[in-house]
Amino acid sequence: FICQNAVNWVKSTDIVSNNVSKNKLSNPVIHDFGALLYIYNDVVRAEPTQNKRVEELKYLFNTTMTRHRDYFMKNTAITSSYDFVKKIIDYTF
């Protein structure tokens, strides 16, 4: 039930088309990560805790993962998945 809510939530964001959402969410890792973000946003109510984890998550995606982006630029599976998850993070937080 929670996972279906998470999927519906991602699809409702309009950050990407429904076809792209469906395709990306068919990957279990991306699906579970999206569900984790949905649940985290719903469960963690302590604002300082949530802000700290969001800061760390954004650092991971904006700095750490882009440090050697040239290694992955030719792999569209990796770059499109990264873009999809980053859009979800940016939309959510």
> pLDDT for 70-81, tens place per residue?
999 999 999 999
> pLDDT for 35-64, tens place per residue?
888 888 888 989 999 999 999 999 999 999
* Per-residue confidence band for 2, with pLDDT thresholds at 50, 70 and 90: low
Residue type, 23: N
Q: Which residues contact 11 (CB under 8 A, 6 or more apart)?
A: 18, 21, 22, 25
Residue 6: pLDDT above 80? no
pTM for the predicted model, two decimal places: 0.81
Q: Tell me which residue of 21, 19, 29, 33 sits closest to 84, measured CA to CA.
A: 21
